Structure 1
Amino acid sequence: MIGKLILEDGSVFQGMLASGTTAVGEVVFNTGMTGYQEVLTDPSYCGQIVTMTYPLIGNYGVANIFEQARQSFVCGFVVSELCGKPSNWQAEDSLVSYLKSRNIPCIYGVDTRAITRRIRSHGTMKGVIVPADAPASEVSALFDMPPSIEVVEEVTTKEVYRMPNSGPRIAVMDFGIKRNILNSMAKAGCDLTVVPAHTPAQEILALNPDGIFLSNGPGDPKDAPVATVRELIGKKPIFGICLGHQLLALAFGGNTYKLKFGHRGSNHPVKDLSTGRVYITSQNHGYAIEEESLAGLDVTVTHRAVNDGTIEGIRHNCLPVFSVQYHPEAAPGPDDNTYLFEEFMKLLNKETSRAGRN
């Protein structure tokens, strides 16, 4: 079936629909050459139509081991060439079948380079995926749909669950956490208790954790539970990534702003300001910390994006609290930054030794 992607500025990109369903959401682009299944199941994309800039998508199929959440939360998927016959020893199914079985709207055979250039020039914007013969009234009605601000509540776990281990006890605030982040912390030896995003600070502290982890997640950080994070600061060591990083900045008294088109991909260079080393990172965020808002706060910027200079890491000068904007577990992406989980473990061990706790 012939379909089209329409952006809110009136741009139209025609292609073929992998299924007959329509989609509406914020249109963003991801520059990764691999990892399309991880992208589809990353909860941070909730409410968004994702355009893959790499032209050939689906060539190595799909497999359960690449799933990052209980389901896909993307609103739609846009690719140039959709491979229907994958070749990979791990493949359990084709991406085409995967999209259809999960009812994920997908348009392919479109000029994704042109879409990306449009977004880079004019900024992220709303878009719809519809059949080519969709009436104007239907398209207008889709554009009139208000965006959801409850995206964190949509993706968070519905109940508390535990991943037992022999190491430090970590309370994980799930704002839309990826499976491989949990696996990376478990591999580092952490005993994890994952709680829903709306869990009050008192209930989290009642778990008597050695530390607290603030996960990645979708949406505007100002719509997430900033007050809860503020209550937790100073009570336990805290490590935040992505949305958790932005929430810490807001809780400290800083501010965040929306980027023109965000950082999404597995090839973003970030500089560690303490060593001068540049790491290649996996990222997925549309907001960043406002530089001026940190002035006067007891916080040090630890990492910066090489491409645009935005803040990629902060650390409190006195409290055992730090965060990074990128995804150190890198699913998909390079594993340059898994050392951050080890840094968190060292911080936890230092704090528990100081408190005289076994």
Structure 2
Amino acid sequence: MAKRKLVLEDGTVFIGEGFGSEREISGEVVFNTSMTGYQEIISDPSYCGQIVTLTYPLIGNYGINRDDFETVAPFIHGLIVKEYSEFPSNFRSDERMDSFLKAHDIPGLAGIDTRKLTKRIREAGTMRGYLTSIEKEDAEILELLQAIPEMHDQVKQTSTSKPYIVPGRGYRIVLVDFGMKHGILRELTKRNCHVTVVPYDYPAESIKRLKPDGIMLTNGPGDPTDVPEAIAMIRDVLPYIPIFGICLGHQLLALACGAETEKMKFGHRGGNHPVKDILTGKAFLTSQNHGYAVTRDSLEKTALELTQIALNDQSVEGIRHSVYPAFSVQYHPESSPGPEDSNYLFDDFLALIKQNIVKREEEVYA
């Protein structure tokens, strides 16, 4: 394997061995602390434009299989590991990590001290980095990093371009795709929902014409303020249709209701983040992947109520509207990968839809 290096924008350099594609690439360098589920992490559209560091030391040991993808093609810019397995051992394995990354033109870097890199990100905050051959001068790379503009179109890259239907006999759900993980769709179809998937910029009037029982706002990459079309749409449909938001969808619901969001120092990415439900007092583990969060103080000027908090840093993990049937969470209740403690939220969403239907019928016959 050829030598390759990662250069961070603060001048820190990590030299290791290259695998996957030989392409040079830049991206925001982030870390994920999960011990398993690397295939789902790599194929999570929320990592669009990012170079992902996996803190677990051995990656690729159970290969790549057909069943664990969260999207058709990955959107990550690069992958960094301590060690990757060239010879996976698993009865479901169809492919090695190296060949999978080559097929999707994604460069990888192995053999570096991932603990040191993770500590650097935790201390200095998330930084952009550049994966390249060892021959290129560091000063030249730093100039390139300074000249590369920040990405603002990740949602456009990852969202579906046209609406499509996944038929079912249950409640009719409009799923607004901001970079959807397939796990969300699986949970809805498992509950026999009739799902219409629409692009991120689908107008409110067009959604109303579909006459949905509920609206699902999915996860997605980037800064929520980069999607003003979605914020306007949510504000328009909020009084009429029950809403459930996940991750980016959670942030967009908050913005539509007048709250604010902020970029976190290094985000939450992993499968063991503890969250406390303020209403019940119960705590549970969650799967998370986000670099932005709803500003807690900004909720005070809105009709939103804080329902859940992160136990590690007290950040906002759940909200609900005090007037309209809408709620959201910052984490991933569909897990994939991660614990299934919060899977019940999909059932809560359907219960909210049922309550809203009953309420409308009572108003009609009153």
| TM-score (normalizing by structure 2) | 0.96
Give the count of matched residue pairs: 357
Matched residue, 2:7: 6
**Percent identity over paired residues:** 49
Matched residue, 1:146: 149
Matched residue, 1:70: 72
Structure 1: unaligned runs, 5 residues or longer: none
Q: Does 1:266 align with 2:271?
A: yes
Equivalent position SS for 1:313: strand
CA RMSD of aligned residues (A): 1.1
Aligned-pair CA distance for 1:174: 0.2
Matched residue, 1:332: 337
Q: Does 1:250 align with 2:255?
A: yes
More off after superposition, 31-40 vs 227-236: 227-236
Offset from partner CA, 1:62-95 (integer Å, 9 cap, x none): 1111111121100111000011111111111111
Offset from partner CA, 1:124-161 (integer Å, 9 cap, x none): 01101001002443553244211220110000001111
Whole-angstrom distance in 2 between the partners of 1:283 and 1:118:
21
Q: Does 1:42 align with 2:47?
A: no
Matched residue, 2:100: 98
Aligned-pair CA distance for 1:276: 1.2
Checking the alignment, whether the CA contact within 8 Å between 1:299 and 1:314 is kept in structure 2 is yes
Aligned-pair CA distance for 1:4: 0.5
More off after superposition, 258-267 vs 14-23: 14-23
Whole-angstrom distance in 1 between the partners of 2:29 and 2:301:
36
Aligned amino acid, residue 173 of structure 1: V
Structure 2: unaligned runs, 5 residues or longer: none
More off after superposition, 143-152 vs 302-311: 143-152
Equivalent position SS for 1:355: helix
Aligned-pair CA distance for 1:189: 2.3
**Aligned match of 1:283 in 277, 288, 292?**
288
Matched residue, 1:316: 321
Write out aligned runs for 1:11-160 (5 A): 11-18=12-19, 19-135=21-137, 136-137=139-140, 140-160=143-163
Equivalent position SS for 2:334: coil
Whole-angstrom distance in 2 between the partners of 1:306 and 1:193:
35
Matched residue, 2:165: 162
Q: Does 1:189 align with 2:205?
A: no
Checking the alignment, whether the CA contact within 8 Å between 2:44 and 2:71 is kept in structure 1 is yes
Whole-angstrom distance in 1 between the partners of 2:11 and 2:141:
15
